[in-house]
Amino acid sequence: MPEPDPAPFRGPLAPLPEAPPAGMSLKPHLIPAVASRRRTLRRLAGLAAVATAGALGAGASAPARADLIGVKSAELRADEDDYVLNAEFDLALNATLEEALLRGVPLYFVLEIEIARPRWWWFAEKVLTSTTNYRIAWNALTQQYRVSSGLFAQNLYSLEEVQRFLSRVTSRPVARRDELQKGARYEAALRLRLDVAQLPKPFQVDALASREWSLQTDWHRWSFTA
């Protein structure tokens, strides 16, 4: 039986590639332009993810900034038997609060005052705290605003009158004369705020995220001698 013809000669064989050094991947290298483009896309995707996470985190954690009420003046004055408060605020109810009143939602304001005696060796000693609550409501039948505080109640005919009423505190007793040591130095702090905790539940949720429902003063502080 004749032997098969040998394969035709096609020239010298190409040399086999050398084995890569230890630890080097056997995968083919990418073309430089493709590798660069892929690195750029990965970097842009990473930046977009960081920006999105930051925006979501900021939106979830940042509380609504309060709409501030200005404090024009505040003082504690000794009367016959008491120390009384005189104060004036720059207060204006915004359109959201006005609309809530007209829809039958009462608004509650809280006037807070604290008196403390400073101590050089430790924190100031809180002597007393006084709180006054106001309720504002609209009566659609009589077309009047009803302002009440404790046993006191008064009807007012316009929102401007309500704002003036809340903006002025005149001779309100906050402490008896014998509660403060004569000649001693004290520090007073005053604040007026809309109490959202007394709003109906749906409005409490809105108040957490809306500046229109966060109406208050910063703590106004001053020193006085009894």
Q: What are the residue ranges spanned by the domains of the chain?
A: 29-62, 67-225
pLDDT digits (tens, 9 = 90+) for 115-160: 999 988 888 889 999 999 999 999 999 999 999 999 999 999 999 9
Look up the pTM and report it: 0.68
Average pLDDT over residues 11-22: 48
Binning pLDDT at 50, 70 and 90, where does residue 95 land?
very high
Binning pLDDT at 50, 70 and 90, where does residue 26 land?
very low
Instruction: Determine the pLDDT at residue 80.
Output: 87
Instruction: Determine the pLDDT at residue 84.
Output: 96
Q: Over the chain, what is the mean pLDDT?
A: 79
- Is pLDDT above 60 for 4? no
Contact 72, 88 (CB under 8 A): yes
Binning pLDDT at 50, 70 and 90, where does residue 68 land?
confident
Three-state SS annotation for 113-174: EEEEEEECCEEEEEEEEEEEEEEEEEECCCCEEEEEECCEEEEECCHHHHHHHHHEEEEEEE
Binning pLDDT at 50, 70 and 90, where does residue 54 land?
very low
- Is pLDDT above 70 for 171? yes
Instruction: Determine the pLDDT at residue 224.
Output: 93
Q: Are strands 67-68 and 215-216 parallel, antiparallel or unpaired?
A: parallel
Which has the higher per-residue pLDDT, 19 or 138? 138
Instruction: Determine the pLDDT at residue 208.
Output: 63
Instruction: Determine the pLDDT at residue 206.
Output: 67
Question: Distance between CA atoms of 29 and 19, rounded to whole angstroms?
Answer: 15
Binning pLDDT at 50, 70 and 90, where does residue 169 land?
very high
DSSP 27: S
Question: Which single residue is written with the structure tokens 């006084």?
Answer: 130
Coil, strand or helix: which one is 55? helix
Binning pLDDT at 50, 70 and 90, where does residue 25 land?
very low
